Amino acid sequence: MISSDRALHRDFFDRSVHAVAPDLIGATLTFNGVGGRIVEVEAYHHTDPAAHSYRGRTARNAVMFGPPGHAYVYRSYGIHWCVNFVCEAEGSASAVLIRAIEPLEGIDTMRSRRGLDDIRLLCSGPGRVCQALGITGHHDGLTLDRPPFRLMPRAEMPDVVAGPRIGITKAADLPWRYGLAGSRFLSKPFRK
DNA sequence: CAGTGGATGCTCT
DNA sequence: GAGCATCCACTGT
């Protein structure tokens, strides 16, 4: 039932967050036609002390406790927005943070929103991704299988690498960051 | 390049 | 009142 011009089915997200996260590497994400290829993500499981859902449901993380295949958007450090894809069965409260994208569509729009030209700096970081694509807290809870989101499966199997997550203090040693090997668009290189 | 510190606002204790 | 799932500017090699 999977064809290359068809959006990712909701069943794709109804699996372990640790299966979904590496499978998102190479998929194409656009928001109102602006986006590109996902090259870096991080998995956050509800049993993980670093996850927003670890201490239970609150107003902020409510979407994480809802059905899979929806966007959880939160404000980071008072300034930035970050977007996650909710995974696993409803109530599981696990999600994948989108950390970096290789810009492919709407690059001029991204440059304008980001206020800089260097294509390598447009979407190489979770806050940068949301600024470049125009994702804000207004979009918290939107489903991923309809506009403004569009999420297409990857055409070929990429070389996926894993390593520790970035910018967290709790459970910082868990290797739940996934990336496209050798990509120039990562927020940080993966250690060998 | 690596390291440091400020901006900034919301959530949860 | 503390602590952020970050980014940028600035410093010093």
Exposure string of A27-52, with b = 16+ CB inside 10 Å and e = fewer, is bbbbbeebbbbbbbbbbbbbebebbb
According to the model, what pLDDT value does residue A2 have? 44
Digitized pLDDT (tens) for each residue of chain A, 192 residues in all: 444 456 787 799 999 999 999 999 999 999 999 999 999 999 999 999 999 999 999 999 999 999 999 999 999 999 999 999 999 999 999 999 999 999 999 999 999 999 999 999 999 999 999 999 999 999 999 999 999 999 999 999 999 999 999 999 999 999 999 999 999 999 999 986
User: Does some domain include residue A3?
Assistant: no
Q: Is there contact between A95 and strand C, defined as CB under 7 Å from any strand atom?
A: yes
pTM: 0.95
Predicted local confidence at residue A10, as pLDDT: 79
Residue A38 belongs to domain with CATH number = 3.10.300.10
| Structural domain includes residue A132 | yes
Closest residue (CA to C1') to nucleotide C3 in the complex: A77
Domain count, chain A: 1
Does residue A186 lie within any of the structural domains?
no
Number of H helices, E strands in chain A: 3, 8
Q: Between the CA of A45 and the C1' of C10, what is the distance in angstroms?
A: 37
- Residue A140, domain extent: 10-180
Using DSSP, state whether A19 is helix, strand or coil. Answer: helix
Is A187 (CB) below 7 Å from strand B?
no
Return the structure tokens found at A39. 């090259």
What is the pLDDT, as a whole number, of residue A7?
74
Q: Where are the alpha helices (DSSP H) in chain A?
A: 17-24, 107-114, 126-133
